[in-house]
Amino acid sequence: MNPARRCSRTACGRPAVNTLTYVYADSTAVLGPLATYAEPHAYDLCEAHSERLSAPRGWEVLRLAPDPTTLEPSGDDLLALADAVREAARPAPRLPAPAGLEAETGRETTRRGHLRVLSSD
């Protein structure tokens, strides 16, 4: 449960535990585990509103149970996270200036993706 996300229902301040989405083409309301990110066309619901959910006449409500194996980080998840931290901590290799361009006035000290920090030596 993400404590920062609250139920989307008006005047409800309880924590969200499920996410509701609609599949209009199939006339289906899908209620599943809380999505990783809040989406603009999805509704986060608390436990009480999830249990009382009803759909318009002729619509089907599909309730998806969370996969218990995904509730806790797996060993692979933790190894991938550790590898990402190690990779981010490594200094970036210094790249040669492209041919035909003048060298920059400053030495590159740090690089994060497309951003660079230059010293004013």
| Tens of pLDDT, residues 46-95 | 999 999 999 889 999 999 987 666 666 667 777 777 777 777 777 777 76
Confidence (pTM)? 0.54
* DSSP H or E stretch at residue 48: helix 47-51
Domain ranges of the chain: 18-70, 75-119
Say if residue 20 is exposed, middle or buried (CB neighbours under 10 Å; 0-12, 13-18, 19+): buried
Of 95, 29, 93, 94, the closest CA to residue 63 belongs to 29
Say if residue 45 is exposed, middle or buried (CB neighbours under 10 Å; 0-12, 13-18, 19+): buried
